Amino acid sequence: MSLPADGKGGLRRLAAWPLIPIVTSLIVTAAVALALGVFALAAGDNVWLGQDVKRGVAQNRVYCEEDRVHSSVRTPINSWSNLAYIAAGGWVLGRAIEVWRLERIFSTVGPRPAALETLRLDNALPVPLLLLSGLSTVSLGLGSFFYHAALTRLMQQYDVACMYWVMDAAIAATMWRWLRRLSALAPSPWLRPRRLLHLLPLLLLVLAADLIFFYKKWEISATEWFSAQLAVVSGSEALHILLGWPPVCTSERQEKRTVRCCLPCRRPS
Q: What is the pLDDT of residues 157-167, one digit of tens each?
A: 899 999 999 99
| Averaged pLDDT, 129-141 | 95
The pLDDT confidence band at residue 256, using thresholds 50, 70 and 90, is: very low
| Averaged pLDDT, 195-215 | 82
Window from 197-206, 225-234, 238-247 with minimum mean pLDDT: 238-247
Residue 220: predicted pLDDT = 85
Single pTM value for the model = 0.76
| Averaged pLDDT, 83-112 | 84
Secondary structure of the chain in HEC code, one letter for each residue:
CCCCCCCCCCCHHHHHCCHHHHHHHHHHHHHHHHHHHHHHHHHCCCCCCCCCECCCCCCCCCCCCCCCCCCCCCCHHHHHCCHHHHHHHHHHHHHHHHHHHHHHHHHHCCCCCCHHHHCCCCCCCCHHHHHHHHHHHHHHHHHHHHHHHHCEHHHHHHHHHHHHHHHHHHHHHHHHHHHHHHHCCCCCHHHCCCCHHHHHHHHHHHHHHHHHHHHCHHHCCHHHHHHHHHHHHHHHHHHHHHHCCCCEEEEEEECCEEEEEEECCCCCC
Window from 53-67, 77-91, 162-176 with minimum mean pLDDT: 53-67
